[in-house]
Structure 1
């Protein structure tokens, strides 16, 4: 982002505006944390601020203050549409394309509001945004929001609520600081957030130690009964059907993080989780080292993401999707055959 763009944004923020903060379909910790951090800052500047998510976010993020005030497009599309249409500025956080907004896409494309992108996903569609603050090397969008606040002179507005929100984004998008976290900036920012009032231990517990009994039993069932290990290709596959989710009283977010567990095994370098939805199979990919999970997602499953964490969709049946995955793996044997020392 150029100095000229920064100065323009500073000028825009001087007078109260109608501001919308949007994020992607199936919002995760980085999406919710980044959006709510901006919300808490902009409210202090007396802007009229609304946060809109395409669908519900996981329950384990509901502790983030005022997240309950966010609009969920799937539940109240009329109100969300009205707010988007009236917006002067729309922040687009943690997504690189309007395609990631689901049914919100057309409204966002049509909106005449000034659009500000803050994101760390590769290859953003920059032509659709008036201002772009992007870095694919950042640990998370939350890390970029922190830096954006510094660039625009709003760093002084970071209070406990902002700090907690940003921490939630950073810690969840790095797998609790287990990947995409080799930049000293990430740790320096967390230290600064603690100085601003963040209780990191409390926030970590609220994110990771808030399982329902059903979610814990689903995790056990998934690892014991549903994990397919393919040792010759250093890969594990987990697949859950709609009926299996219903059996464990599934709620939004209950499968979050399960895909990471197989990577705890020494000989597994690639993990894939398939979750059946009503209209598709949703795939989550995780990898170790330099194996490109995002390439697999983009090349074969209409998705994308980061080197070690990506997502995609299949419109085949569950069994056909698993078969497709198994057919792909031999092509990547050499890249998968490594040991981290």
Structure 2
């Protein structure tokens, strides 16, 4: 019996399953959660998705009504944990990734936990762990679960649509080096199951608001700084600047990749002032330019080599100055011709 067959056996034996994912929801955490939920339901079992906070606005086209949010309905989430007999931990490798309130519930709950994740250095709290750091997304691993447990015949459009979304967003539209031949094999299975990929691309990309585009235009035209000696781009946005453009969650998610697309850039760093702290996104190109170490060593963060996150409790200006001091340590200075 392989580990995926073990996981399906645990699903079949459980009565009240919880699916959790990390704080600051993204396409992969939402996609893997909903894909697993619909798969469990197809098996004839019940599950409840419990997330720390809301999904970004650009994912609202998905039916997220089944997701209980700790930030909005803590009593309902607490009650779900109280009655749970199996907990899935998707797209995170440590209990602190779910936020302090849900972390307390997760650590106090003594039932079996199953981790399915693709981030480095997983903690050893789960009963079963699928940790595949070379895989592009947790959503891809959910498809592996469905196939390798012997249930590929259950895969349909309802299950596959959020999983396609998760793979799409966590690979930057299939551009990151984490994409492997197996990724495209998985995509072929999703399309065969009825997933309408063109509609997902439309719903994901053709949902800009005027305020979002104006904020992004302001960020690129007025707040972009390029450290040409190191080929690193930085964008900083204060809470006042975000408010000016009626910021909604997710409005700045593409800025780091946009800045990174500038010819010659090795890395791009975007930080925004929210909830009293600076939330930082790190993006880079190539194995020789990892950003997860910078995030982990100095900004209480981490992630993948070329895509990581972090935070700073310093002011906007202080955070900017700290980054500029650190960049020479992590990115070689460009040789001048």
- Tell me the TM-score normalised to structure 1 length: 0.94
CA contact (8 A) 1:34 1:141 kept: yes
CA contact (8 A) 2:69 2:77 kept: yes
Instruction: Return the offset for 1:81.
Output: 0.8
Equivalent residue number for residue 60 of structure 2: 62
Instruction: Return the offset for 1:69.
Output: 1.9
**The one of 241, 252, 258 aligned to 2:249:** 252
Deviations 1:147-184 (A, max 9, x none): 12222223222110111111110010111111134410
Equivalent residue number for residue 222 of structure 1: 219
Deviations 1:274-307 (A, max 9, x none): 1101221111000011211111111111100001
Change (3 A) 1:267 1:108: same
- How far apart, CA to CA, are the structure 2 residues paired with 1:79 and 1:188? 39
Instruction: Return the offset for 1:96.
Output: 0.3
Give ranges in structure 1 of 5+ residues lacking alignment.
none
Q: Does 1:23 align with 2:21?
A: yes
- How far apart, CA to CA, are the structure 2 residues paired with 1:168 and 1:156? 20
- Tell me the TM-score normalised to structure 2 length: 0.95
Q: Stretches of 4+ moved more than 6 A in 1? A: none
- How far apart, CA to CA, are the structure 2 residues paired with 1:337 and 1:232? 5
**The one of 314, 317, 320 aligned to 1:316:** 314
Instruction: Return the offset for 1:18.
Output: 0.6
- How far apart, CA to CA, are the structure 2 residues paired with 1:186 and 1:198? 15
CA contact (8 A) 1:16 1:45 kept: no
CA contact (8 A) 1:62 1:68 kept: no
CA contact (8 A) 2:40 2:47 kept: yes
Equivalent residue number for residue 42 of structure 2: 44
Change (3 A) 1:7 1:333: closer
Matches within 5 A, 1:203-222: 203-222=200-219
Give ranges in structure 2 of 5+ residues lacking alignment.
none
Instruction: Return the offset for 1:16.
Output: 5.5
Instruction: Return the offset for 1:25.
Output: 0.4
- How far apart, CA to CA, are the structure 2 residues paired with 1:142 and 1:319? 37
